[in-house]
Structure 1
């Protein structure tokens, strides 16, 4: 058992939250029970993940996408009211870490994926509000077709692709989630492949015309990496039992 404050302090220090200007509050979003025996970890604070946290008898839920965003309307109605009510009724603390969970250099969505994929010579990449949230590096040369298979196996999600670059992939950039809008940072560099989560029409043209291979692995799938890595970190450092709450989200 640990205290809520102990968990909060540990995570805020781990993710260096004070360094980030984000579109949401990072850290504690909903206060629950002061003592924690079990933690649920998930990608997003959806109704389904909160319900599963209740079923698993967790006192805290840690997510990448929380309940509150800067541009949200102030009234608490509809599904937000339902989720908030469920958290409060069951005294579950909600903690959310958005950009800090993307950027962490060992258990973040991007760096952890790079390490798992066997990349080396890693350096920060993808500047968002004066902070680097992604990573670039090299990998043993591989054909585009084989690299696509490797990504689909790792992320457990089909890739949406636009092939505009070399037939061989060696230098790679990764920015998870909705970072297709940052593709321009890779165009015109030595990067062969740009990996992100979601995509939109402009990415197709920009990749093909900019001479780079583009891989969208699913917003949700690309951001399971950090929460799963955090789960292992918490169990090994704080000795607190954790459960990863999965959702069948194809987007």
Structure 2
């Protein structure tokens, strides 16, 4: 007996096997377009050369993001130039850092800072990470002990953030952030690292690790496209709102004293 295709899938569309992976920190790198397409929709400029590594600049050219898989160990480099209100900073994430976790940091680069003081440890505590007291450094470890986040300060005063994930076979990745990295970015990264939500990988892209748990799902190409487009649409809406506010914000009110000084200067 010949099976009939369910008509709700659309003409000629075939479901594809994917896997939901937990913990997300051990899911492998994933598709870098998850990061790059969002940034492009937010107005970032793609400086990449054909066939070369990814290279993107922020609209004001103060931040550069690169991904280079052609060198060892390869991975992500995010560099912020020194400005009037921010010291120079750098973040480096390994090639196997899941793009969903990388996006926790890079997406935050496109949003205005919150008025609340950032707390890197808060999203980890919410997910019951273990944070024992330390001397000169603080280390948070995930409940399954597969991922960590550490602030380390050496006796000479040099400080840095160090993070990553590793399984029993030694497979994994690390990330480093200079102490000057804006805290709201480190907090956004920590929230993405600790998120209990699984991430999805296609068949053939699932890491060989005894530490991960997988759930097989059937996904239509149109579903994947719709999910990706929803993320791009959200990025464009955010970019439009930011541009609209900057264009239409009211002018700064001039103080009476400044007006008087200006009047006197023109007499």
In which range does the TM-score fall when normalised by the shorter chain? under 0.3
| Larger RCO, structures 1/2 (Cα 8 Å, 6+ apart) | 2
TM-score by length of 1: 0.23
Higher helix proportion (structure 1 or 2): 1
The structure that has the greater radius of gyration is 2
TM-score by length of 2: 0.22
